[in-house]
């Protein structure tokens, strides 16, 4: 097994040159003087203390060394560090070695197809990593602004509502916001499946605070689908100490940066769930004795999120594209963690609990979701116009829902009834079956090109489907598939009432 601590640069921050340099001749040695859960205090005899974010190796009586990271200098001889592994069994006086560098993780081709933890230790029961695997520090500065490229190329997903209303950018950052149980993880897994066909590059998946069951299912799904040889899985699971969950995104990002900067390959970085990163940071802040800020979050919330997000950029002709799932606590979109993360992303995909309750999957809110790429200069005038008209139609329907609930759709004017009918058909057309849910629903997944999505929405807005049954448009791919379903339903019921409009409910 490769030791995650290795030779590296002597500074914890501002690391620009990825080539490791020689380790100091004599690293500072210390001893453990206090253990409080995941927080440990270490006393050093020498005049030089380890730097902030430098890694320490605590020699346990049994088992491998425990990796910790310096978080504060208490006085001229003592530091406070955060252990990234369980501290059970540690004793006072245990020897501690400073590495002279931040935590180092293995990177490179040898990591493809592997599942590792925050320190780079394999967790898939596979072969040990090669002895010559390159190591890189998890703390690095973001690339200079002058070297960063603009994210203007559309990242097609085959998911109608995303490609139409919240297009993703290659080299950009997209976030899926939603409360518990509205489909964030399913949506991320479907995006992974969709990228297998379109995307020729490296994928890095960061499981931040994941359940063990989810991690096991992800590993099996990737093995069965054949994408694992081009993927690196990095996990800091829910049962691990907060330090592990806090640093897992940095480990995954370090691996992605290696492929971007040194292999010049495009990288797809997926994170589920980035809220757990913020949550782990709040736990760490409390353990270190810092006063909480708004809603109990850490006072360093904005800087921690920025340090992670600002490293996800395109450099030259290669890019790191990030797709992040973000849990929204109690469906409160004004939560400080949610608003802080939202400030850094290009595309916001907002999942709605009310749409999920109606069975509109994917339960993406077409009004609350947004993307900076939905601009005529980027997606074209036709795409922007269709997306705007779809939003306007659905928004008008929502304004009338209270009236419909009280009085019924028959009390509306002719124009309003027509808009309501088209809005309901648009909502159903923007649903589609997923490949990752086929085992549960028995319905094969659909992947729809952007042109077919635009053509279907234009036809519904133009009134071509006004006499169709709404069910014909539900959970289909293209409009042609919906037309076949509609014709089949008419053929099965020849005594049809002529396509009388269905009663709409709120």
Alpha-carbon distance of 37 to 289, in angstroms, equals: 13
Report helix, strand and coil shares of the chain as percent, to nearest 5.
40, 20, 45
Q: Where are the alpha helices (DSSP H) in 65-211?
A: 160-165, 184-198
Catalytic residue among 80, 184, 260, 424: 184
Which two three-digit tokens encode residue 281?
Answer: 């940071």
CB 169 within 8 A of CB 157: no
Q: Please, what is the angle between helix 450-461 and helix 479-492, to 10°? A: 50
CB 115 within 8 A of CB 124: yes
Catalytic residue among 211, 294, 395, 399: 211
Among 122, 100, 103, CA closest to 111: 122
Q: Which helix (H) or strand (E) holds 58?
A: strand 55-58
Give binding residues as ranges.
178-185
Q: Is 410 a catalytic residue?
A: no
Catalytic residue among 69, 210, 257, 304: 210
Query: Hey, how many other C-beta atoms are within 10 angstroms of the C-beta on 503?
Result: 9
CB 206 within 8 A of CB 249: yes
Q: Across-strand partners of 380? A: none
Q: Across-strand partners of 149? A: 314
Query: Hey, how many other C-beta atoms are within 10 angstroms of the C-beta on 131?
Result: 7
Q: Is 173 a catalytic residue?
A: no
Which two three-digit tokens encode residue 484?
Answer: 């076949």
Among 262, 249, 256, CA closest to 230: 256
Q: Where are the alpha helices (DSSP H) in 97-183?
A: 160-165
SS3 annotation, 176-230: EEECCCCCHHHHHHHHHHHHHHHCCCEEEEEEECCCHHHHHHHHHHHHHHCCHHH
Beta strands in 360-410 (DSSP E): 370-371
Q: Is 91 a catalytic residue?
A: no
Give binding residues for ATP as ranges.
178-185
Q: Which residues are catalytic?
A: 184, 210-211
């Amino acid at each position: 097994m490769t030791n995650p601590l290795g030779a590296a640069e002597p500074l914890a921050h501002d690391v620009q040159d990825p080539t490791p340099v020689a380790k100091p001749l004599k690293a500072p040695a210390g001893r453990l003087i206090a253990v409080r859960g995941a927080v440990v205090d270490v006393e050093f005899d020498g005049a030089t203390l380890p730097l902030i974010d430098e890694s320490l190796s605590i020699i346990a009586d049994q088992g491998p060394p425990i990796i910790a990271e310096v978080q504060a200098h208490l006085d001229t001889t003592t530091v406070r560090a955060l252990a990234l592994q369980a501290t059970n069994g540690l004793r006072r006086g245990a020897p501690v070695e400073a590495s002279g560098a931040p935590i180092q993780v293995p990177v490179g081709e040898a990591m493809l197809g592997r599942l590792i933890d925050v320190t780079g230790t394999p967790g898939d029961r596979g072969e040990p990593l090669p002895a010559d695997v390159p190591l890189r520090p998890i703390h690095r500065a973001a690339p200079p602004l002058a070297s960063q490229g603009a994210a203007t190329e559309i990242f097609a997903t085959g998911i109608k509502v995303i490609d139409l209303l919240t297009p993703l950018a290659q080299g950009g950052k997209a976030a899926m916001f939603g409360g518990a149980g509205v489909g964030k993880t399913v949506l991320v897994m479907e995006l992974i499946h969709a990228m297998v066909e379109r995307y020729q590059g490296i994928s890095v998946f960061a499981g931040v605070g994941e359940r063990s069951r989810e991690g096991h299912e992800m590993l099996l799904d990737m093995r069965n689908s054949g994408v694992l040889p081009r993927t690196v899985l990095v996990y800091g699971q829910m049962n691990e100490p907060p330090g592990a969950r806090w640093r897992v995104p940095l480990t995954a990002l370090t691996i992605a940066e290696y492929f971007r900067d040194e292999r010049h390959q495009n990288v797809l970085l997926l994170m589920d769930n980035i809220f757990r990163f913020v949550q782990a940071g709040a736990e760490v802040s409390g353990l270190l004795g810092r006063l909480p800020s708004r809603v109990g979050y850490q006072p360093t919330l904005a800087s921690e999120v920025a340090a992670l997000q600002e490293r996800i950029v395109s450099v030259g002709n290669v890019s790191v594209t990030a797709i992040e799932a973000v849990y929204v606590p109690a469906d409160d979109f004004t939560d400080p963690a949610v608003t802080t993360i939202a400030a850094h992303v290009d595309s916001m995909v907002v999942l709605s609990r009310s749409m999920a309750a109606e069975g509109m999957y994917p339960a993406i809110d077409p009004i609350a979701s947004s993307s900076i790429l939905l601009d005529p200069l980027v997606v074209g005038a036709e795409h922007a116009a269709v997306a705007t008209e779809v939003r306007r139609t659905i928004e008008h329907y929502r304004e009338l829902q209270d009236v419909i609930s009280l009085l019924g759709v028959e009390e509306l004017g002719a124009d309003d009834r027509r808009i309501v009918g088209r809005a309901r058909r648009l909502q159903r057309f923007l649903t589609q079956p997923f490949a990752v849910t086929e085992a549960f629903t028995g319905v094969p997944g659909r992947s729809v090109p952007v042109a077919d999505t635009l053509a279907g929405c234009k036809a519904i807005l133009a009134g071509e489907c006004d006499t169709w049954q709404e069910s014909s448009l539900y959970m289909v791919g293209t409009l042609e598939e919906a037309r076949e379903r509609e014709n089949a339903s008419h053929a099965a019921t020849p005594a049809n009432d002529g396509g009388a409009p269905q009663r709409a409910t709120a």
